[in-house]
Amino acid sequence: MTKTLLEIKEFKMHFHTDKGVVKAVDGIDLSVNEGEVVGLVGESGCGKSVTSLSVMGLVPTPPGKVEAGSIQLAGRDLTRLKRREWRQVRGNEVAMIFQEPMTSLNPVFTVGSQMIEAIRQHRQVGKKEARHRAGEALREVGISRDSILDEYPHQLSGGMRQRVMIAMAMVCEPKLLIADEPTTALDVTIQAQILDLMRRLNQEKGTAILMITHDLGVVAEMCSRVVVMYAGQVVEEADVNTLFSNPKHPYTAGLLRSIPQLDKRSDRLYSIPGNVPNPRQMPTGCRFAPRCEHVQSICLDREPPLFHITTGDHTSRCWLHGTEKEDVDRDSSRDVVRS
């Protein structure tokens, strides 16, 4: 069960614009095991979406450019794929669902014709067989009415559309499903249904899910491991219980504190002071230092590596959890010190 399916190593995706280089993803390490649900958390603009699009090879290049690192899917380096090889991977081995189910379907074609198209993209089957499979895929996601195949997207509700998107993504039984904020645009009851559905698909089909979200509630409910990103870097990684009970990085702690608590009265909701740094002008040293309440002098001129916290796979990119010396001793395939 613990075979690594997706392994992102030292991956850097930079955007070269007229106004300078935007380091959207700046050296991240991330792995997803087979059948695992991993959460990728962070606020807007931290590089979550660019990471997920990089795995799909959907970052436009230029302006995007892979500066370093690799993305291995089942042992194959995706950063070296040719266009034709990419098409074999997309939809077949990795599938993706998007935030806005309202706009993810083509408004001028019926649901059925779009699903059939998706199936025939990867499987050599006739139209009839494809339609049959589309119907089955819809039943998997809880739509038992076959007539929906002949309906247009505008005739469906948001929840139904997201189900259709999931059915379409799952139709070729990918090993990895990337869900880019799949429930953000849905209301809460539908959100719960969609999450249920995804969990069921994960358990029944063994599809690994990379759940990209800024909703920590979704993470707590769905994921077994969580990766927290800030300003293009991974700042903390831990299994879900550890992260919620014992967050190590001040940014994670801040995120958790900013969730409103039902059982405590407070006049003001907590929010982390300041804003995400401008990606064209990253602060030297720790990227979170300008907003951090534990900031020390070292934070302002040396960038912290990922430190292992005592037990297990818990890592945190913060000087609170190690010193420079410790860092030099470590063997590190995952942990890097930048000068």
Report the interface residues with another protein, using CB under 8 A.
Answer: 56, 58, 86-92, 95-96, 98, 100, 102-110, 117-118, 121-122, 150-152, 154-155, 157, 165, 168-169
Minimum Å distance from CB 130 to another protein?
A: 13
Q: Which residues are CB-neighbours of 46 under 8 A, at least 6 positions away?
A: 229, 230, 231, 232, 276
Q: For residue 235, give the nearest of 172, 164, 289 by alpha carbon.
A: 289
Minimum Å distance from CB 199 to another protein?
A: 22
8 A C-beta contact, residue 181 and residue 40: no
Nearer to another protein, 77 or 85 (CB): 85
Q: Give the H/E segment covering residue 216.
A: helix 216-222
Q: Which residues are CB-neighbours of 294 under 8 A, at least 6 positions away?
A: 250, 318, 320
Tokens 């590089």, residue? 47
Nearer to another protein, 162 or 242 (CB): 162
CA distance linking residue 192 with residue 52, whole number of Å: 23
Minimum Å distance from CB 103 to another protein?
A: 4
Q: What are phi and psi of 199, to 5 degrees?
A: -65, -40
CA distance linking residue 185 with residue 298, whole number of Å: 41
Alpha helices in the chain (DSSP H): 48-56, 83-89, 111-122, 127-140, 158-170, 188-205, 216-222, 240-245, 250-257, 297-301, 324-329
Nearer to another protein, 10 or 100 (CB): 100
* DSSP tag of 90: B
Minimum Å distance from CB 147 to another protein?
A: 9
Nearer to another protein, 189 or 333 (CB): 189
Minimum Å distance from CB 168 to another protein?
A: 7
Cα radius of gyration rounded to whole Å, the chain:
21
Nearer to another protein, 157 or 278 (CB): 157
Q: Which residues are CB-neighbours of 339 under 8 A, at least 6 positions away?
A: none
Nearer to another protein, 150 or 313 (CB): 150
Nearer to another protein, 130 or 235 (CB): 130
Strands 176-180 and 307-308: unpaired
Nearer to another protein, 52 or 242 (CB): 52
* DSSP tag of 286: -
Minimum Å distance from CB 190 to another protein?
A: 13
Minimum Å distance from CB 297 to another protein?
A: 45
Minimum Å distance from CB 64 to another protein?
A: 14
CA distance linking residue 39 with residue 209, whole number of Å: 8
Q: How many CB atoms lie within 10 A of CB 86?
A: 13
Strands 76-77 and 64-73: antiparallel
